[in-house]
Structure 1
Amino acid sequence: MKLTTCADTPAQWRGEVLALAVPQGPADQNPLAGPWLAAVDAALDGAVSRLLAYDSFTGARDELVTGPGVPARCERLVLIGLGRPDAVTPHTARRAGAALARTLTSGPNRRVALALESWHVDGTDLTEHLTEGLSLAVHCGRWNVLPDRFRADYGADLPREPETVELLGAASAEPLTRAEAFTDALVLARELVAAPANLITPDRLAREATALAAAHDRFDVEVWDEEQCRAQGLTGFCAAAVGSAAPARFIRISHRPATPSGPPVAVIGLGLTYDDRGVARSGGAVEGAKKYMAGAGALLGAATALATLGGTREAHLLIPAVAKTAGPKSLHLGDLVTTASGLTVEVNHPDAHGRLMMADALHLAARLGAERTVGVSALGLPVAAALGPKAAALWSTDDALAADLAAAGRDAGELLWRLPLVDEYEDELWAPFANLRSAGPAGGDGATAATFLRRFAPQGAWAHLEITEPAWSPRIDGYYNAGATGYGAGTLARWLCGP
Structure 2
Amino acid sequence: MKLTICDTAPAEWAGEVLALGVYDEGGAPSAQPWLSGVDAALGGAVTRLLAHDSFGASLDELVTGPGVPGRCERLVLVGLGRPDEVTPHTARRAGAALARTLTTGPNRRVAVALPSWHAGGDEIVEHVVEGLSLAVHCGRWNVLTDRFRADYGSDLPREPESVELLGCAAPERLLRRAAVFTDAVVLARELVAAPANLITPERLAREAAALADADGRFDLEVWDEKQCAEQGLTGFAAAAAGGADPARLIRLSYRPADPVGPPVALIGLGLTHDDRGVLRSGGAVQGAKKYMAGAGAVLGAAAALSALGGPTEVHLLIPAVAKAAGPGAMRVGDLVTTASGATVEVNHEDAHGRLMLADSLHLAARLGAGRTVSVSALGLPVAAALGPKAAGLWSTHEALAADLVAAGRAAGELLWRLPLVDEYDDELWAPFANMRSAGPESGDAATAAAFLRRFAPAGGWAHLEITEPAWSPRIDGYYNAGATGYGSGTLARWLCPR
- Which TM-score applies when normalising by structure 1? 0.98
Match of 1:53 among 46, 51, 54: 51
Question: What do residues 62-101 of structure 1 show as CA deviations (whole Å, max 9, x unaligned)?
Answer: 1100011111110000001111111111001100000000
Matched, 1:368 2:367: yes
* 1-structure distance, mates of 2:21, 2:240: 51
Offset, 1:122: 2.9
Q: Check conservation: 2:100, 2:157, Cα contact below 8 A.
A: no
Offset, 1:159: 4.8
* 2-structure distance, mates of 1:38, 1:257: 52
Q: Which residue number in structure 2 is paired with residue 309 of structure 1?
A: 308
Offset, 1:38: 1.1
Equivalences, count: 496
Question: Counterpart of 1:376 in 2: which secondary structure?
Answer: strand
Alignment of 1:202-217 (within 5 A): 202-217=201-216
Offset, 1:58: 1.6
Q: Check conservation: 2:99, 2:157, Cα contact below 8 A.
A: no
Q: Which residue number in structure 2 is paired with residue 14 of structure 1?
A: 14
Q: Which residue number in structure 1 is paired with residue 252 of structure 2?
A: 253
Q: Which residue number in structure 2 is paired with residue 176 of structure 1?
A: 175
Question: What do residues 19-61 of structure 1 show as CA deviations (whole Å, max 9, x unaligned)?
Answer: 01111102xx111222111111111111111111111112111
* 1-structure distance, mates of 2:434, 2:157: 57
Q: Check conservation: 2:205, 2:222, Cα contact below 8 A.
A: yes
* 2-structure distance, mates of 1:226, 1:415: 36
Offset, 1:257: 1.2
Question: What do residues 262-290 of structure 1 show as CA deviations (whole Å, max 9, x unaligned)?
Answer: 11100000000000010000001111000
Q: Which residue number in structure 1 is paired with residue 118 of structure 2?
A: 120
Question: Counterpart of 1:221 in 2: which secondary structure?
Answer: strand
Question: Counterpart of 1:167 in 2: which secondary structure?
Answer: strand
**Higher deviation after alignment, 99-108 or 120-129:** 120-129
Counterpart of 1:52, as a letter, is: L
CA RMSD in angstroms comes to 0.9
* 2-structure distance, mates of 1:432, 1:34: 72
Q: Which residue number in structure 2 is paired with residue 111 of structure 1?
A: 109
Offset, 1:231: 1.1
* 2-structure distance, mates of 1:404, 1:456: 22
Matched, 1:405 2:404: yes
Alignment of 1:89-488 (within 5 A): 89-151=87-149, 153-157=150-154, 158-171=156-169, 172-488=171-487
Question: Counterpart of 1:11 in 2: which secondary structure?
Answer: helix
**Higher deviation after alignment, 154-163 or 227-236:** 154-163
**Higher deviation after alignment, 321-330 or 482-491:** 321-330
Question: Counterpart of 2:419 in 1: which secondary structure?
Answer: coil
Matched, 1:36 2:30: no
Q: Check conservation: 1:339, 1:345, Cα contact below 8 A.
A: yes
Q: Which residue number in structure 2 is paired with residue 490 of structure 1?
A: 489
* 1-structure distance, mates of 2:385, 2:328: 36
Q: Check conservation: 1:214, 1:220, Cα contact below 8 A.
A: no
Question: Counterpart of 1:363 in 2: which secondary structure?
Answer: helix
* 1-structure distance, mates of 2:111, 2:391: 35
Judging changes above 3 Å, is the alpha-carbon distance between structure 1 residues 97 and 261 closer, same or farther for their aligned structure 2 residues?
Answer: same
* 1-structure distance, mates of 2:137, 2:10: 27
* 2-structure distance, mates of 1:322, 1:142: 27
Question: What do residues 113-152 of structure 1 show as CA deviations (whole Å, max 9, x unaligned)?
Answer: 000111001313110000000000000110000001223x
Counterpart of 2:318, as a letter, is: I
Offset, 1:12: 1.2
Counterpart of 1:484, as a letter, is: A
Question: Counterpart of 1:104 in 2: which secondary structure?
Answer: helix
* 1-structure distance, mates of 2:145, 2:379: 29
* 1-structure distance, mates of 2:65, 2:151: 31
* Structure 1 residue ranges, 4+ long, deviating more than 6 angstroms after superposition: none
**Higher deviation after alignment, 118-127 or 153-162:** 153-162
Counterpart of 1:331, as a letter, is: M
Question: Counterpart of 1:369 in 2: which secondary structure?
Answer: coil
**Higher deviation after alignment, 3-12 or 407-416:** 3-12
Question: Counterpart of 1:389 in 2: which secondary structure?
Answer: coil
* 2-structure distance, mates of 1:440, 1:124: 45
Q: Which residues of structure 1 form unaligned runs of 5+? A: none
Question: What do residues 370-423 of structure 1 show as CA deviations (whole Å, max 9, x unaligned)?
Answer: 000000000110000000000000000011000000000000000000001021
* 1-structure distance, mates of 2:88, 2:274: 34
Question: Counterpart of 2:416 in 1: which secondary structure?
Answer: strand
Q: Check conservation: 1:89, 1:124, Cα contact below 8 A.
A: no
Question: What do residues 418-457 of structure 1 show as CA deviations (whole Å, max 9, x unaligned)?
Answer: 0010211100000001000000000000000000000000
**Higher deviation after alignment, 124-133 or 460-469:** 124-133
Counterpart of 2:88, as a letter, is: P
* 1-structure distance, mates of 2:37, 2:217: 50
* 1-structure distance, mates of 2:447, 2:41: 63
Q: Check conservation: 2:136, 2:157, Cα contact below 8 A.
A: no
* 2-structure distance, mates of 1:313, 1:363: 20
Counterpart of 2:23, as a letter, is: P
Question: What do residues 167-207 of structure 1 show as CA deviations (whole Å, max 9, x unaligned)?
Answer: 01111211110010000001010000000101000000000
Q: Check conservation: 1:114, 1:168, Cα contact below 8 A.
A: yes
* 2-structure distance, mates of 1:156, 1:68: 25
* 2-structure distance, mates of 1:46, 1:124: 32
Q: Which residues of structure 2 form unaligned runs of 5+? A: none
Offset, 1:259: 1.7
Q: Check conservation: 2:111, 2:166, Cα contact below 8 A.
A: yes
* 1-structure distance, mates of 2:32, 2:90: 21
Counterpart of 2:424, as a letter, is: Y
* 1-structure distance, mates of 2:115, 2:136: 24
Offset, 1:156: 4.6
